[in-house]
Chain A
Amino acid sequence: MTRTVTVLNPTGFHARPARSFVDTAATSFPETKITLTKGPKVINGKSVLSMLTLGAKCGDAILIEAVGGDEARALSELGDLFETIFQE
């Protein structure tokens, strides 16, 4: 299952929100594999370092994919979290 979210924060990706996304992905959905795709880059959604290397900017569309476990709940929670933390 996939969901597309948009980075709304005018200054792009910050370390602190990236960390809270990764923490939630790892602790709440240990069974689910989470990947983020931006253009040609595909990264592990449970890795802060990879998220920081995504180089996401304001307005970028990011595709979140969940495989395994409770995919629907993971996408809904993580997608909402993503939109909240990257819009401040």
Chain B
Amino acid sequence: MPLVFQAQGVSPGIAMAPAVVLNRHEPEDPARRTAEPAAERVLLASSQVRMRSELTALRDHTLRDLGPIQAEIFDAHLSMVADPELAGLIEAIVDEGWDAPTAVFRACQSFIELLSELEEEGQRSRAEDLRDLRRRWLGLLSGKACSGPTVGTPCILVADDLTPSETAGLDLAFVKGFLTAAGSRTSHASILARSAGLPAATGAGAVLAAVQPGQLVAFDGRTGEVVLDPDAGQQARFLAVQAAEAAERARQKRYAALQTVTADGAHLDLAANIGRVEDVGAVLGNGAEGVGLFRSEFLFLDRDRPPTEDEQTAVYTHVLARLSGRPVVIRTLDIGGDKVLPYLPLDPELNPFLGVRAVRLCLGRPELFRTQIRALLRSSPAGDLRVMVPMVALVEEVAQVRALFAEEAAKLTAAGVPVAKFQLGIMVEIPAAALNARALADVADFFSLGTNDLIQYTMAADRMNDKLTHLYQPLHPSILRLVDLTVQGARARGRWVGVCGEMASDPEAALVLLGLGVDELSLSAAGIPAMRELLSRVDRSRAAATAHLALGMGTAAEVLTLVRSRHPELQKEDQGEAP
């Protein structure tokens, strides 16, 4: 009898294989005596060296794949392995005549107990870290491979939870997917699954309770549907979805590997919007020609204090290095309005969207802003850095920001810290900036149109107000004219123009933006291959003529009709033939 469960899909894809149930019973105190403490000490010393080299490898591996924040846990493990008090305690236990595993178990246990008493709410449990470390250490001492669960045939791993070190040690040749009871989209294991393209679902406690080792399991990491003992019909359905997804991926992959070129040979950049280091894998996998918007405020959310200069530097440097010379546009802190931080109390405002937000807030909190500026400057040698300042209305604001960058750069240079050349541009999202683009182009190295806010400010319609959604009209001629003014202003000074709002991912709007002459569209990484395919069917010169006609129209509906009638290629469904 098939059993159907609903879990939480955290990494898309179909997996079907026999279950391996990971019973991670907490190791027990071996309580073994030894007659030769000297031999145990040699064993301990060599296990410590091997622990260090294994953990260093895991750290470097994770640093490369997932970034500094995820890798930090292995630095914590490394410092615990080298801890003199832990080592002293282990030795003392061996001196009392106990063997190495017993000593490791008991020494860790006493620290686990001390740490458990002190655990603070909301912090990663250091006692858990030490348990994870102890499991690895005891495994190594017992001579078993101690990285991940050992599996030798294709399987789906079902577990209560996967620790970071288990996740990093998974043998992806055999593990076809995993189901865990605990965890979330943002847990270490889920992030790794997505970056490795491994189907995964969490919230599978009921599956864990019901599953037998070796039982056939099928699940969909997108929808979270799990079936134990699927019947022939269910198996066929899962396999059909798997085949369709594989075909779609293969088709898109071809576009991920290409450059963005229109039917008439014009080039433009398709860049990705990201918020976290973990998004970089998808940026590279989908063949983005850069990062068009890195929302740095994500580093500041979900925590109880602002990230330090070193932390920010590590993150920016990592992203720049991973993009290997492709441009990375990092937006400086954009908070205020609807985005607030617990550790940064703001005065209540009647109109937060028209209030002290983004650059206005940063210029009023120089200590917060200077920390970010120093981090950006320190990361500048790692790649093609382009700093973007949000919510600029005035030329003077850009001058003030430039002065801060210049001051901090001078200080760093004086201290011997290398600072490389970078671009300093602005986000055009206030109509005043679009209308005054020519003058702003004198002080800004580039423009990126933040169309979401540009539309809300142009229409004077709060985009959070669901009674006003009809006023949110990306194709309205007023918006298109502001885009046109921005492009004209940039052209006059040889600056480039990007678009990083929702408009960049809408087919009709993207076509008009192409026609208006923008140089870059930035959208979610997953949307890039499809957009690249679409643009490959469009003539830029014809799009330019369409855009010119659109500028003379009176309503968004007329523009949409115009675009659709002049560009039947937008509707054409590609049925999977080679590009």
Contact = CB atoms under 8 A, between A and B. Distances in A.
Given A12-B120, A44-B84, A47-B84, A53 B115 contact: yes
Interface in B91-120: 111, 114-115, 118, 120
B374 to A, nearest CB: 14
A7 interface: no
5 contacts: A22-B79, A43-B85, A49-B130, A52-B115, A53-B111
Q: Could you say which of B72, B79, B111 has the most chain A C-beta atoms within 10 Å of its C-beta?
A: B79
Contacts of A88: 305-306, 308
Interface string B59-83: 0000000000000100110011001
B41 interface: no
Contact of B84 (A9, A12, A46, A55): A46
B79 A48 contact: yes
Contacts of A72: none
Contacts of A47: 83-86
B83 A48 contact: yes
A50 interface: yes
B304 interface: yes
A23 interface: yes
Nearest to B76: A15
A11 interface: yes
A27 B523 CA distance: 46
Top 8 nearest A-B pairs (CB, nearest first) are A47-B85, A53-B114, A55-B118, A48-B79, A49-B83, A50-B85, A49-B111, A47-B83
A45 B419 CA distance: 35
B115 A19 contact: no
Interface string B287-310: 000000000000000001110100
Contacts of A22: 79
Contacts of A43: 85
Interface string A51-69: 0110100000000000000
Contact of A10 (B75, B86, B304): B304
A22 to B, nearest CB: 7
Interface in B289-340: 304-306, 308
Contacts of A12: 120
Contacts of B185: none
A55 to B, nearest CB: 5
A12 B119 CA distance: 12
A69 to B, nearest CB: 16
Contacts of B83: 47-50
A39 to B, nearest CB: 14
Contacts of B79: 19, 22-23, 48
Contacts of B72: 16
A85 to B, nearest CB: 9
B86 A49 contact: yes
Contacts of B75: 19
Contacts of B114: 53
Contact of A9 (B76, B85, B305): B305
A52 B84 contact: no
A47 B304 CA distance: 26
B369 to A, nearest CB: 16
A10 B343 CA distance: 10
Given A47-B85, A53-B115, 14 more contacts: A10-B305, A19-B79, A22-B79, A26-B84, A44-B84, A48-B79, A48-B80, A49-B130, A53-B111, A53-B114, A53-B118, A55-B118, A88-B305, A88-B306
Contacts of B276: none
Interface string B128-153: 00100000000000000000000000
Q: Could you say which of A44, A47, A55 has the most chain B C-beta atoms within 10 Å of its C-beta?
A: A47
Contacts of B80: 48-49
A11 B118 contact: no
B126 interface: yes
A63 B181 CA distance: 45
Nearest to B85: A47
A64 B126 CA distance: 24
A43 B126 CA distance: 18
Q: Could you say which of A12, A43, A49 has the most chain B C-beta atoms within 10 Å of its C-beta?
A: A49
A52 B119 CA distance: 10
A11 B305 contact: yes
A43 B114 CA distance: 13
Nearest to B127: A52
A67 B305 CA distance: 34
Contact of B118 (A9, A23, A52): A52
A86 to B, nearest CB: 11
B120 A49 contact: no
Contacts of A52: 115, 118, 126
Nearest to A18: B79
Contact of A49 (B85, B123, B305): B85
A9 B80 CA distance: 23
Contacts of A26: 84
A26 to B, nearest CB: 8
Contact of A11 (B115, B126, B304, B306): B304
Contact of A15 (B86, B111, B126, B306): B126
B76 A19 contact: yes
A47 B79 CA distance: 9
Contacts of B115: 49, 52-53
Contacts of A23: 79
Q: Could you say which of B75, B115, B118 has the most chain A C-beta atoms within 10 Å of its C-beta?
A: B118
A4 to B, nearest CB: 22
Interface in B174-227: none
A46 B80 CA distance: 11
Interface in B21-78: 72, 75-76
Contacts of A49: 80, 83, 85-86, 111, 115, 130
Interface string A10-34: 1110111001001100100000000
Contacts of A11: 120, 304-305
A49 B123 CA distance: 16
Nearest to A23: B79
